[in-house]
Amino acid sequence: MALHGEGGDAVRPALLVIDAQEEYFAPVGQWVVTGGEEAMARIGELLAAFRAAGAPIFHIWHEALDPNSGVFRKGSEGVRLHKGAEPREGEELIRKHFPGAFTGTPLEAYLRRAGADAVVVTGFQTQHCCDATTRQARERGLDVLFTADATATRDLLLRGEVVPAAAIQRATLAAMTGFAEVVTAAEVGRALRG
């Protein structure tokens, strides 16, 4: 795999680390994801690879607008970034209030300023904020690499029936093939190293 756009031209990717926050991890989180620590390990590998390559990195974190929200409430432990997801000097930290990371944020301007024409999507939850951000990126003409193993989700309920996280993850990855190239963190890391 090489980092090339749809036309075959080389792209300058930026890493998006979406909502790597305590709300998705025990013991703090209200929405604990399945395989979250494994996804964080892959995110850590990608952070190291992007840092080594001098490629742009954007950390996006969610904060609820409703002060009474049960999740991602301003000032709560759940909004804190998870260990290993903290930005370093020169890496942008962007607060969002909606699922898509482009909605009401300076993300697009920051990507353009960095010369990025592609994004590598990582984070939580696969079918929610990662999906929404992928679709928004494509609408803005960016190429998208969606990492299958650096994203995760949780079991959800549908009319009282549990839909397992694995089924949601798989269905979302299949849906993302219409908007992105679905890849692994290792593939992205190898491509970055050339």
**CA geometry: angle at 120 spanning 114 and 125, to 5°?**
125
Amino acid at 98: F
- Please write the tens of the pLDDT for every residue from 109-167: 999 999 999 999 999 999 999 999 999 999 999 999 999 999 999 999 999 999 999 99
The dihedral built from the CA positions of residue 172, 33, 125 and 50, taken in this order, carries a sign that is negative
User: Could you tell me which residues come within 8 angstroms of residue 90 by beta carbon, excluding any fewer than 6 positions away?
Assistant: none
- Domain extents in the chain: 13-189
**pLDDT confidence band for 193 (50 / 70 / 90):** confident
Instruction: Please give the backbone phi and psi of residue 146, each rounded to the nearest 5 degrees, phi first.
Output: -105, 115
Q: Cα separations (Å) of 99 from 65, 114, 125, 127, 185?
A: 12, 23, 10, 10, 23
In the predicted model, what is the mean pLDDT of the chain?
95
Q: Tell me the C-alpha distance between 32 and 30, whole Å.
A: 6
pTM of the model: 0.95
Q: Cα separations (Å) of 156 from 63, 121, 129, 174?
A: 21, 22, 15, 18
Q: Which residues pair with 61 in a beta bridge?
A: 95
Of the candidates 129, 87, 128, 127, the one whose C-alpha atom is nearest the C-alpha of residue 110 is 87
Q: Tell me the C-alpha distance between 72 and 30, whole Å.
A: 9
Do 124 and 20 touch, CB atoms closer than 8 A?
yes
Region 61-79: mean pLDDT is: 96
- What does the block give as tokens for 127? 């079918």
- Please write the tens of the pLDDT for every residue from 2-54: 466 566 666 789 999 999 999 999 999 999 999 999 999 999 999 999 999 99
Residue-level pLDDT at 3: 64
Q: Tell me the C-alpha distance between 159 and 142, whole Å.
A: 36
User: Could you tell me which residues come within 8 angstroms of residue 143 by beta carbon, excluding any fewer than 6 positions away?
Assistant: 5, 6, 11, 13, 117, 118, 119, 181
- Please write the tens of the pLDDT for every residue from 168-184: 999 999 999 999 999 99
Architecture of domain 13-189: 3-Layer(aba) Sandwich (3.40)
